[in-house]
A and B are shown apart, each in its own frame.
Chain A
Amino acid sequence: MAAMWLFGFIGFILFIPHKDRRKGILAAIMFQAFIWLCDMPSFKFGLLSAPVRLFPKATDLTVTINYFFYPVLFAIFYVHWNAKNNRWFRLTYFCIWISVITIYDNILEIYTDLIKYGSLNWFGMWIYIGILFYISLICCNWFYKEKPPIKSYVGGTNED
């Protein structure tokens, strides 16, 4: 678990170019909102469980993964996502990412108590992660649709 926090930080710094860090953060918080929302019902209905976790009294959800690690992975994924590449390349890129994460998740499931599958198998997890990635991707793309520059309406700080 500590390793995930550590590698998450290092990964965010190493794999996200300095100029893209806003994009990275946006992707991370976007993904975070969705994984949190989707994990609520799936934990509730016993699809998943997390015996070892942060804040064991406050929540049954896996805070490390939801709150930090997967959002960071998604941020790295998103920052390197290039809509100009052709469709097959994008599809492959997407599939490789979610497959690697599924494998990682499965390894965690088998060898640790950080996450346990209830009625979910590896294929379900693959689809689940795929859906999460896809929704977040669409939303992030929507956010950055108006290129360039994104109109800033914070209200003047940067306008004048």
Chain B
Amino acid sequence: MKTEWWILLSVYTVATGVLFFMPKNRFRLAVVAFLFMQVITFLTGLCVVELGLIEYPVRSFASINRTSFDYEFYIFPVTCAVFNVWYPNHRRPLVQLGYYFVFSTVLTFGEVIIEKYTHLIIYIHWEWYISWITIFISLFIVRLFCVWFFLKPRT
């Protein structure tokens, strides 16, 4: 098996493993975050590939889908679920901002390394900071959505 597939497999394993560490009582929050992130990643992923900004030479369902199914359907949504489940809501705004920074930076960093050394992803007209900004924004949107979703209706 090629390196790329090993990477995918290990990322899948880690992502699934993390799911087991989630507190049971926050599972619904995780589900909402996961699902809503998919909504965003599908659309942006499709646009990005359609416009030829990024290419994913190694991918699942390669014959019918040019976007990264693994990343968009599973890995990023799981990350987002993790993000929301352990969100430091009672901390200072600065800490919360830092939380966003850490997540975006780690994800971007991983992506850049993978871009450099493997064929899982290739930037065509794309830069690492665009990744960083889009990740940041999408995490923020999902966070907003989750807060709205679990808001207690006014009675």
Binding site for B on A (CB under 8 A): 19, 22, 25-26, 29-30, 32-33, 36-37, 40-41, 43-44, 54-61, 63, 67, 143, 149-158
Q: How far does the Cβ of A114 sit from chain B's closest Cβ, in whole Å?
A: 16
With A152-B150, A152-B152 already in contact, the answer to whether A58 and B46 are too (CB < 8 A) is yes
Which residue from B35, B49, B146 sits with its C-beta under 8 Å from A58?
B49
Q: How far does the Cβ of A135 sit from chain B's closest Cβ, in whole Å?
A: 14
Which residues of chain A come closer than 8 Å to B89, judged between CB atoms?
Answer: 154-157
Q: How far does the Cβ of B53 sit from chain A's closest Cβ, in whole Å?
A: 11
Q: Is the CB of B90 within 8 A of A156?
A: yes
Per the bound structure, the CA–CA distance linking A158 and B150 in Å amounts to 8
Which residues of chain B come closer than 8 Å to A44, judged between CB atoms?
Answer: 61, 63-64
Per-residue contact bits, chain B 86-103, to A (CB 8 Å; 1 contact, 0 not): 011110000000000000
Q: Is the CB of A153 within 8 A of B42?
A: no
A-B contact count (CB 8 A): 101
Binding site for A on B (CB under 8 A): 25-26, 28-29, 31-32, 35-36, 38-39, 42-43, 45-47, 49-50, 52, 60-61, 63-67, 69, 73, 84, 87-90, 146-147, 149-153
Which residues of chain A come closer than 8 Å to B38, judged between CB atoms?
Answer: 29, 32-33, 36
Per the bound structure, the CA–CA distance linking A32 and B43 in Å amounts to 12
In the complex, the 5 A-B pairs of residues with the closest C-beta atoms, listed nearest first? A155-B89, A152-B150, A58-B49, A60-B64, A29-B35
Per the bound structure, the CA–CA distance linking A60 and B62 in Å amounts to 10
In the complex, which residue of chain A has the Cβ closest to the Cβ of B153?
Answer: A19
Per the bound structure, the CA–CA distance linking A155 and B29 in Å amounts to 10
14 chain-A/chain-B pairs, Cβ below 8 angstroms: A29-B38, A40-B65, A43-B64, A55-B46, A58-B47, A58-B67, A59-B49, A60-B64, A63-B46, A67-B42, A67-B43, A150-B150, A154-B29, A157-B150
Residue from B35, B63, B89 having most chain A Cβ neighbours under 10 A: B35
Which residues of chain A come closer than 8 Å to B29, judged between CB atoms?
Answer: 152-154
Q: A40-B64, A152-B151, A154-B146 are in contact. List 5 more A-B contacts (CB 8 A).
A: A26-B35, A59-B64, A152-B150, A153-B26, A158-B151
Which residues of chain B come closer than 8 Å to A33, judged between CB atoms?
Answer: 35, 38, 73
Which residues of chain A come closer than 8 Å to B146, judged between CB atoms?
Answer: 154
In the complex, which residue of chain B has the Cβ closest to the Cβ of A26?
Answer: B32
Which residues of chain B come closer than 8 Å to A143, judged between CB atoms?
Answer: 28, 31
Q: How far does the Cβ of B8 sit from chain A's closest Cβ, in whole Å?
A: 15
In the complex, which residue of chain B has the Cβ closest to the Cβ of A160?
Answer: B90
Residue from B32, B45, B87 having most chain A Cβ neighbours under 10 A: B32
Q: How far does the Cβ of A160 sit from chain B's closest Cβ, in whole Å?
A: 9
Q: Is the CB of A59 within 8 A of B43?
A: no
Which residues of chain A come closer than 8 Å to B88, judged between CB atoms?
Answer: 155
Per the bound structure, the CA–CA distance linking A55 and B39 in Å amounts to 16
Which residues of chain B come closer than 8 Å to A149, judged between CB atoms?
Answer: 152
Q: Is the CB of A155 within 8 A of B87?
A: yes
Which residues of chain B come closer than 8 Å to A22, judged between CB atoms?
Answer: 149
